[in-house]
Amino acid sequence: MARSDQIETTELTIDADWNGLYIDGEWRSPGDRETIAVENPATRETVNEVPAGTVDDVDEAFEVAAAAQEEWQDVLPQERGEIIQEVQDLVEEHHDELTELLAIESGSARPKASREFTSTGEMMHDVVTYPFRMTGSHSQSKIASKENIVKREPVGVVSVISPWNFPFQLSLRAVAPAIALGNAVVLKPASETPISGGLLIARLFEMAGLPDGVLNVVTGHGSEIGDRVASHPELSAVAFTGSTEIGQRVAKNAAEQLALPAMELGGNNPHVVLEDANVGEAVDAGIFGSFMHQGQICISINRHLVHESLYDEYVERFVERASELPVGDPLDEDTIVGPIINETERDNILEYVEKSVEQGATLELGGSADGLFVEPTVLSEMDNDMAAACNEHFGPVAPIIPFETDEEAIELANATEYGLAASVHSTTISRARDVADEIEAGMVHINDQPINNEPHVPFGGTKASGMGRYNGEWIIDELTEPKWTSIQHEPRDYSF
């Protein structure tokens, strides 16, 4: 398997021809299908279009994937790893084109795009080793002359339904492990980011020499094909990242096929600043955790919980820092805060802010929008029940809530249906650990902020924030299944 020399570099740019589904190693033209406009959220200009796939397209993709997987699982592990490495090499080679594509399609400012590609690269380097980490075991038996062997095998066909906020990374974090472990994949990217979340990935794997049918990409509206992607009879596992509401529906559909769901869902992540915290460090972390990618991250800070003795200083310093953040087109190198992905998301954000002010919050900064550019917004005198705090606002909004004791901070942090990520600041590590241990979240970061991901530690949440974990041995467990084989070496005496 080797890189295809027939794919031109220009085919990785935003204005390349992306108007096709990728099924069985072929780019299928739209034909009589409808198309979906790909829009630049910074300008609202249509920059490309992709096909609106149908249920029939999904069915064909699964049938092709099931056939291809039977051969792919027998490919030598080093060859599967080489494909993953080749994709990563291509990403590094075409970094500039891909950064521009991500900026234009998803509104990703350079700091966010850089972080997305860096995290993806770290993950891919680890995934290269996955084919050799499908380890099993050998054990004795309670029956004479018998031995037990347990090995891991790929689950089969994996569907990946990815979001628009980190489309490239959050697609590949499931696609790459699935392929490395011997599975085939049907990928359905978000309709807002069908290129960076789907068709781009297909092209990279095509360039890397992946056999036909192992990866299939069907773009389309979730309302029309989402249920089929999550419930096809050939489905063995589904990886979904998105809202809790949609995730529950995806999990239900998958369960009807007895397919294993791996779900990263919504979050309402607290940033807890204890009485003995370093305020400057907590503010720096809070600014990054609230405004990276306009707050459009499941693990971004949704609530700042600050001890009352530090509250006024924290609000003052936080507002000062937030007011200095450059807002603008992601293609501008100085931009930190780019556009919200669409009008619906923007309107939800502004509504949460308006309702919170009506409920008694003080608007310290921002609160309005120019097109899809929502100003960095800071709300003080908040409580946990106000709209911008009790909902996942998913925008550049920082509600700041005071508390009196560590016990109250824990209570406030846990007073949500979500349990994805959190952060705790204190100059006493043991105290921070005590609070972190009581916070109901899958990931807690001390003297940092919640936007963290490392390829060798489990990534995921509790409660309504999902089920299963990504990365390392945890995603290997999700995308493989154990098989027990016993060997009876001598004749066995039976009871009849």
- 66-70: long-range contacts, CB 8 A cutoff, minimum separation 24: 66/156, 66/157, 66/184, 66/234, 67/213, 68/24, 68/184, 68/211, 68/212, 68/213, 68/214, 69/154, 69/156, 69/157, 69/182, 69/183, 69/184, 69/214
224 is catalytic: no
SS (H, E, C) 275-344: CCCCHHHHHHHHHHHHHHHHHCCCCCEEEEEEECCCHHHHHHHHHHHHHCCCECCCCCCCCCECCCCCHH
Q: Are 475 and 463 in contact (CB under 8 A)?
A: no
Strand partners, 151: 483
Nearest to 366 by CA among 333, 318, 329, 312: 318
In angstroms, how far is CA 6 from the centroid of its own chain? 31
> Given 86, 264, 275, 478, which residue is catalytic?
264
Nearest to 78 by CA among 158, 1, 185: 1
In angstroms, how far is CA 179 from the centroid of its own chain? 18
Nearest to 151 by CA among 133, 131, 137: 137
What does the CA dihedral 280, 284, 286, 287 come to, rounded to 10 degrees? Answer: 130
End-to-end CA distance of the chain: 55
In angstroms, how far is CA 72 from the centroid of its own chain? 26
398 three-class SS: strand
Half-sphere exposure of 40 (CA within 13 A, CB side): 17
Q: What phi, psi does 18 have (nearest 5°)?
A: -110, 10
**Catalytic positions, written as ranges:** 264
